[in-house]
Amino acid sequence: MTQDIENGTIAEIDGRTCVYYDGYWIKYYEPPPESLEAKKGLIEALTRRLFNHVEHGINIPGIRLAEARVAYERETDLDRKRVNGAMLAGALFNRAAGIFTKLVELQADGVEVEYDDALMRECGSYLREALELGHMVRHRGGDEGIDELWGEPFKAFTQPIASFYENRYIKIAQTMRDIDRITMTLRATFEDSRQIPNVGPLLQEFGEAAKRKCEILRTDPVIFDVWPAFVVASDRLRTIQPKLPPAPSMSEIHQAQECNRILKAGTALVTHIVRARVPMPKSARELIDQCHRFRRSFLDG
């Protein structure tokens, strides 16, 4: 029974080395040895991933930090100030990354760099301020912030690399649970639908491919199998066309439109979650509420 397995247990599962967290076996990757060079690579990778998933226009070079701060402080319109705050956060992240890169270069030249070094403290201060501004940053989809993703470069800076990896496995397990919640809700929503019959197996395939994708690093050779499987499973759902009778009623047409909208919204949300590898609780709640309203309107009465 999985409830008897301790978090952090490592085992061979179906020919893969996996680690267990909160009900899920997740592919295990050995963390790199602790060093400033390894931290630098991790922070750079997390920062690139961060900017890839958040709204456009906030990847401001660190050299423009002072400009970004002035613009944020002088803005009075609340909506614009949110965007300026997101831009300031981006500049802070990039300034911190720049400092860390220079520290690693100094260390490579034989200069001892301690964790209480003044520049290390300055780097941490920039990352902390960026984290505090994270609530102003939205996901690229526009409907939700992703604070967990925004905080990862700071965590990579402040935690030992092994601890960061452990926390990522916990977050991936939470992500997998959200994928299960969403896909199971979609299956329950359409299980009695005559317009999109037999969608359950496609949703199950999609959910399994999504969980597989979110545990795999892009550098892993199996990405060439895992990513195509996920894309194909997603495409099969997005291209489903509801079946209508020859002379459909207005209610049947409306139901078909809602089927399409919810299925595409659910597919898109799971895709966002998989690529970011963090839960998106606000969006998940909203989608599940839409599913419940759909059943009450068209299938339960």
Q: How far is CA 284 from CA 71, 262, 279, 288, 290, in A?
A: 34, 12, 8, 6, 10
Position 148 confidence tier, pLDDT thresholds 50, 70, 90 = low
What is the pLDDT at residue 38?
Answer: 86
The residue to which tokens 């590898």 are assigned:
277
User: Model confidence over 52-84: pLDDT tens digits?
Assistant: 888 889 999 999 999 999 999 999 999 999 999
pLDDT value for 173? 95
How far CA 105 is from CA of 36, 109, 124, in Å, comes to 10, 6, 18
Of 8-22, 110-124, 218-232, 236-250, the range with the lowest mean pLDDT is 110-124
Q: Give the per-residue pLDDT at 202.
A: 94
Helix (H) / strand (E) element for 10: namely strand 10-13
% of residues, the chain, pLDDT over 70: 94
145 pLDDT band, cuts 50/70/90, is low
Separation between Cα atoms, residue 199 and residue 263, nearest integer Å:
10
CB contact at 8 A, 126 and 111? no
Ramachandran bin of 190, using left for φ above 0, alpha for ψ from -120 to 50, beta for the remaining angles: alpha
pTM over 0.75: yes
Asked if residue 114 has pLDDT above 80, the reply is no
Amino acid identity, position 65? L
SS3 62: helix
Q: CA 226 to CA 187: how far, in whole Å?
A: 23
Residue 242 has pLDDT above 90, yes or no: no
Q: How far apart are CA 123 and CA 197, in angstroms?
A: 55
Domain range annotation of the chain: 36-158, 175-299
- The pLDDT value recorded for residue 137 is 83
CA separation (Å) from 170 to 25, 163, 174, 206, 282? 11, 11, 6, 22, 19
> Within 10 A of 109 (CB to CB), how many other CB atoms are there?
7
Cα 141 from Cα 118, distance rounded (Å):
38
What strands, in cross-sheet order, belong to the sheet with 10-13? 10-13, 16-21, 24-27
SS3 state of residue 19: strand
Distance CA 63, CA 169 (A): 34
Q: By three-state DSSP, how is residue 87 classified?
A: helix
C-beta separation of 255 from 298 below 8 A: yes
Q: Of 275, 273, 274, which is closest to residue 143 (Cα–Cα)?
A: 273
Q: Using an 8 Å Cβ cutoff, are 173 and 211 in contact?
A: no
pLDDT at 115: 66
Q: Please, how many CA atoms are within 13 Å of residue 74, restricted to the half-sphere of its CB? A: 6
Mean pLDDT across 200-229: 94
Mean pLDDT of 157-176: 90
**Mean pLDDT, range 233-260, rounded to an integer:** 87
Distance CA 286, CA 117 (A): 46
Beta bridge partners of 26: 19
pLDDT at 146: 62
Q: Is the pLDDT of residue 300 over 80?
A: no
Q: Stretch 126-150: mean pLDDT, rounded?
A: 75
